Amino acid sequence: MKIAFFTDTYLPQLNGVSTTMQQLFSYLDKIPGFEYIVFAPGPDTSTDKNIYRIHGMKFFLYPECRVSIPNYYYIKKILNRFKPDLIHDSTQFSIGLCGLLYARKNSIPITTVYHTNFSDYLAYYRLRLIDRVMWRYFTWFHNQCDINFCPSLYTRDELLQRGMKNLELWVRGVDTDFFSPKYKGILSVPYYHIHGKTILLYVGRVAAEKNIGVLMHAMEIINAKFHNKVHLFIVGDGPMLKQIERCMPGNVTCTGFLTGLKLAKMYANADIFVFPSTSETFGNVVLEAMSSGIPVVGAFSGGVQDSLIDGENGISCTPGDPASLADGVIRLLRNREQLKMLGKQARAHALEMSLETGFEQLIKRWAVLLNESKAPLPVSGTQHILNQS
C-alpha cells in the first residue's frame, strides 16, 4: 500500500497531532510492503525520511505553527512519480487542499481526520465573525473525502450536526510502555528539588483556549488550604507563559517544553493530573497521564469525555469552573486511598487503548476502502490485514 500524507503539523513542532503522526509512521515502517511520503511545512533537513518540506508562513492563532504555501505543480510531479494508492489529509488548509485536488483529479481514495476544534479557538480569540465562513469551508472540504476520521464520539457528533458526512471513529492510543509508572522515583521531579509534597501536573499549550486562567484560579483556592503541601508543574509553552510566570505563586513551576524520557518521568512522578481545557477533540495528554498511573482531575468537556470516567480513573469537573476543579483536587488530597485507587484504574484504562490497536484499526479501514474503490491491493500484507477484519 502506498500512501501520501499531507499535514500542516509535523516535527519539529510538538503537539498531539505531530506526535500521533510520528508514531503512525514508526508503526508503518515495521510493516513490510508499506510505502509512504509526507508533505509538511518547514525547511528541508538531511534527517528527513520520505518527507517533502513545503515553505510556509506563521499561523496567526499559533505563531509556532506554519501554514504551508504549496506549489501544486511541484507536489503533482512528486505524486505522479510516487503513484499513491491513497491520500490521507491531516489538514484542511492549503497543503491539504492540494491533496484533495490530486485525489479527485486522479480518482484516488482520500481520507482525512478532524483533530483541532477551531471553533472554540476562534471564540477564545474573539474571532467569531469568521466562524460561519470557516465551517462552510470545512464542511465542503470534508464532504469531498471518502472517510472523515474522528478522534472521539464528541467530535463525531459535533461534525454530524455541522452537516459533515462519511464520519468514522478512529480512537487514538497511547504508548503504554513509554508512559508508564515504572519511571516513578526516577529523576524529573527530584531534579527540581521538590520533596514531600503532592505533585500536581498540567501538560499542554499555555494558552487561553486551554483554560490556563481557570487552572491558576483553582490553584489559588487549593493554596488557601494546602499551600505547603502541594506543588504544581506546568509543562509546555505558549502565549500566556510569561504572564503566568509573572504572577504564579511560589509553589508553581513552569518547565517549558519537555519531551522524551523527561516528559515520561514527569508524568510518572506526579500524583494528580489537572486538566482544565474544554477545547480538546481527543486529549492525548489525558491518556498519557492515565498510562503513567496518575488520576485525572479535568473538565468534563470535548473529547476528554471519552476517556475520563468520574470515580473510576479520575474526577470530572464542571467546565470553566475553578472552584469545581479545585474541589476535585482537594477531594483527592484528603483521601489518599482514593487517589491511589484511581491511579491504578487509570493505568488499567490506558492499557486497553494501545497505539497498536488504534493503528491496526486505521490500516484495516484503509484496506477496505481500497477494496471498495476497486483499487488494486498491491501488497500481500495489506490483503492479510483485510482478511482479518
Report whether pLDDT(42) > 90. Answer: no
Least confident of 110-119, 198-207, 285-294: 110-119
In this prediction, residues 333-350 reach a mean pLDDT of: 98
- 381-388 contacts at long range (C-beta below 8 A, 24 or more positions apart): 381/31, 381/32, 381/33, 381/34, 382/1, 382/33, 382/34, 385/360, 388/364
Report whether pLDDT(29) > 50. Answer: yes
The three cell numbers locating residue 145: 473525502
- The pLDDT, as a whole number, for residue 67 is 63
Q: Which of the given ranges, 49-53, 179-183, 353-357, has the highest pLDDT on average?
A: 179-183
Rounded CA-CA distance 367/382 in Å is 6
Phi and psi at 265, nearest 5°, equal -70, -35
pLDDT tens-digit map of 284-324? 999 999 999 999 999 999 999 999 999 999 999 999 999 99
| Greater pLDDT, 229 or 53 | 229
Buried (b) or exposed (e) across 60-93, using 16+ Cβ within 10 A?
A: ebbeebbbbebeeeebeeebeebebbbbbbbbbb
**Residue listed under C-alpha cell 515553505:** 55
pLDDT, mean over the chain = 88
- The pLDDT, as a whole number, for residue 125 is 57
Least confident of 3-12, 333-342, 372-381: 372-381
- The pLDDT, as a whole number, for residue 383 is 43
- The pLDDT, as a whole number, for residue 221 is 98
- The pLDDT, as a whole number, for residue 62 is 57
- 338-345 contacts at long range (C-beta below 8 A, 24 or more positions apart): 339/271, 339/272, 339/295, 342/295, 342/311, 342/312, 342/313, 342/314, 342/315, 343/271, 343/293, 343/294, 343/295, 344/293, 345/295, 345/312, 345/313
C-beta separation of 329 from 294 below 8 A: no
- The pLDDT, as a whole number, for residue 373 is 81
Are domains 2-173+354-388 and 181-351 of this chain identical in fold?
A: yes
Report whether pLDDT(352) > 90. Answer: yes
pTM of the complete model = 0.87
Give the model's confidence band at 121: pLDDT under 50 very low, under 70 low, under 90 confident, else very high. low
Helix, coil or strand: residue 84? coil
- The pLDDT, as a whole number, for residue 389 is 42
Report whether pLDDT(124) > 70. Answer: no
Report whether pLDDT(204) > 90. Answer: yes
pLDDT tens-digit map of 238-264? 989 999 999 999 999 999 989 899 999
Report whether pLDDT(84) > 90. Answer: yes
Pairing of strands 66-68, 86-89: unpaired
Report whether pLDDT(196) > 50. Answer: yes
C-beta separation of 114 from 155 below 8 A: yes
In this prediction, residues 62-69 reach a mean pLDDT of: 61
Selection from 176, 375, 380 nearest residue 292 by Cα: 176
Where in the chain are the domains?
Answer: 2-173+354-388, 181-351
In this prediction, residues 47-66 reach a mean pLDDT of: 69
In this prediction, residues 209-220 reach a mean pLDDT of: 96
C-beta separation of 145 from 125 below 8 A: no
- The pLDDT, as a whole number, for residue 9 is 79
C-beta separation of 183 from 264 below 8 A: yes
Rounded CA-CA distance 117/374 in Å is 34
Give the model's confidence band at 185: pLDDT under 50 very low, under 70 low, under 90 confident, else very high. confident
CATH fold label, 181-351: Rossmann fold (3.40.50)
**Residue listed under C-alpha cell 509512504:** 36
The correct answer on CATH 3.40.50.2000 for the domain covering 2-173+354-388 is: yes
Report whether pLDDT(357) > 50. Answer: yes
End-to-end Cα separation, the chain, in angstroms: 16
pLDDT tens-digit map of 217-236? 999 999 999 999 999 999 99
Report whether pLDDT(385) > 50. Answer: no
User: Percent of the chain scored above 90 by pLDDT?
Assistant: 69
Question: What is the number of other CB atoms lying within 10 angstroms of the CB of residue 115?
Answer: 24
| Greater pLDDT, 56 or 90 | 90
The three cell numbers locating residue 49: 525520511
